[in-house]
């Protein structure tokens, strides 16, 4: 009897314990994020590049004829004045050609005078006189050519300027027309030459405004204008050349300054602009961002970076059905994860 009572007591105690125990169902914490609405905007995105400062006018100076370089009294980087001697050839051969042409002209002149006298006396024929006149004309032309080559056997500065590059040394043999110097004129007008990728070159046009900065004057932005847009890509670099005109505005410039170029295209284009912080896993021209669906699920999307303007990035490849993206908290998300949209985001993970 006592055993039966004890068993009933134990059952009652166990039953009471089961009723007092409640099953707790836990739900995972939702990742708080901040989102923003996105839509296309018509904006002008600047084109960023780097370039080299050059004088506004460059010339390749060469000899009219080939020969051995006898003298080069200037060096690369020298400032020169208009008419100053820059280089000269060994004139031994050229002077001999002038002497030969002069002697041939003198002989043709004497022959022509004699034939004319004979013709006036009816001794020489009209054909002989005409042949003599032709020979004299040819001899005169040959002498003019020889003197012209002699006068162009030296190189003089065409204007005040600077020797940007010296391509030939003394006692070297040069051929006709081979450049000896790259010469830059001095003045207040300069140009910046830059190379642009194909995606940028198609966005700019002649006359577009620009801003240029140099390490030599870090606090100064020099206004500039696009003067030339290349129509063919460089086979070595794959970029297209563009030239911009710039004034020194009283500051000291030197050929070869490295320029930071910012070009502002006139034409506005439609872009999706998103905060820089919304992009993750950026790699070159591609990156990822998270969109939030109506069911508050994170959706990872791959996009293409077009350009960066301040704290916003222009992108392409965003599906049309995406209207809002995650601007803060994207680094903590996974594909398909449920999120909680809040005004203030705080992560302590």
List domains and CATH numbers for the chain: 31-42+269-341 (2.40.420.20), 48-56+188-264 (2.40.30.170), 63-89+155-184 (2.40.50.100), 92-151 (1.10.287.470)
Q: What is the pLDDT of residues 116-140, one digit of tens each?
A: 888 888 888 888 889 989 999 999 9
Q: Helix, strand, or coil here: 123? A: coil
How far apart CA 212 and CA 221 sit, in angstroms, is: 6
Q: How far is CA 64 from the centre of its chain?
A: 34
Largest CA distance in the chain: 179
Tell me the mean pLDDT in the region 101-117: 91
H/E element holding 126?
helix 126-151
**Contact at 8 Å (CB) between 159 and 92?**
no
The most confident of 11-15, 115-119, 233-237, 259-263, by mean pLDDT:
259-263
How far apart CA 108 and CA 120 sit, in angstroms, is: 18
How far apart CA 306 and CA 317 sit, in angstroms, is: 10
What is the residue-wise DSSP string for 184-226? Answer: EE-SSEEEEEEEE-HHHHTT--TT-EEEEEETTEEEEEEEEEE
Tell me the mean pLDDT in the region 52-74: 87
Q: What is the pLDDT of residues 156-191, one digit of tens each?
A: 988 888 888 889 999 999 988 889 998 887 665 788
How far apart CA 156 and CA 164 sit, in angstroms, is: 15
pLDDT at residue 9, as a whole number: 47
Q: Is-above-0.85 flag for pTM?
A: no
Residues forming beta bridges with residue 308, ordered by sequence position = 313
Tell me the mean pLDDT in the region 334-341: 85
Tell me the mean pLDDT in the region 106-119: 90
């Amino acid at each position: 009897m006592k055993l039966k009572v004890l068993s009933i007591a134990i059952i009652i105690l166990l039953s009471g314990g089961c009723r007092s125990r409640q099953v707790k169902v836990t739900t995972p914490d939702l990742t708080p994020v901040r989102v923003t609405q996105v839509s296309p905007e018509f904006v002008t995105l600047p084109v960023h590049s780097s370039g080299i400062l050059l004088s506004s006018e460059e010339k390749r100076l060469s000899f009219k004829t080939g020969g051995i370089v006898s003298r080069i009294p200037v060096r690369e980087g020298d400032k020169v004045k208009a008419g100053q001697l820059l280089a000269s050839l060994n004139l031994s051969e050229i002077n001999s050609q002038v002497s030969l042409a002069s002697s041939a002209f003198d002989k043709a002149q004497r022959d022509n005078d004699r034939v004319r006298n004979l013709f006036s006396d009816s001794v020489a024929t009209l054909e002989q006189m005409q042949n003599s006149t032709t020979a004299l004309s040819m001899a005169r032309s040959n002498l003019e050519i020889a003197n012209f080559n002699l006068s162009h056997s030296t190189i003089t500065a065409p204007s005040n300027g600077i020797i940007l590059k010296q391509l030939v040394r003394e006692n070297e043999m040069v051929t006709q027309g081979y450049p000896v110097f790259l010469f830059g004129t001095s003045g207040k007008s300069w140009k910046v030459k830059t190379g642009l990728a194909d995606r940028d070159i198609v966005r700019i046009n002649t006359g577009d405004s620009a801003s240029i900065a140099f390490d030599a004057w870090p606090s100064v932005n020099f206004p500039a204008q696009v003067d030339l847009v290349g129509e063919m890509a460089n086979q070595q670099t794959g970029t297209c050349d563009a030239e911009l005109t710039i004034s020194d505005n009283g500051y000291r410039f030197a050929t070869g300054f490295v320029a930071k170029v910012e070009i502002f295209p006139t034409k506005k284009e439609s872009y999706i602009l998103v905060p820089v912080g919304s992009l993750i896993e950026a790699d070159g021209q591609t990156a990822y961002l998270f969109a939030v669906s109506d069911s508050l699920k994170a959706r990872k999307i791959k996009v293409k970076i077009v350009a960066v303007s301040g704290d916003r990035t222009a992108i392409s490849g965003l599906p049309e059905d995406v209207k809002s993206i995650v601007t803060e908290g994207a680094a903590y998300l996974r594909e398909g994860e449920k999120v909680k949209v809040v005004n203030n985001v705080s992560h302590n993970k």
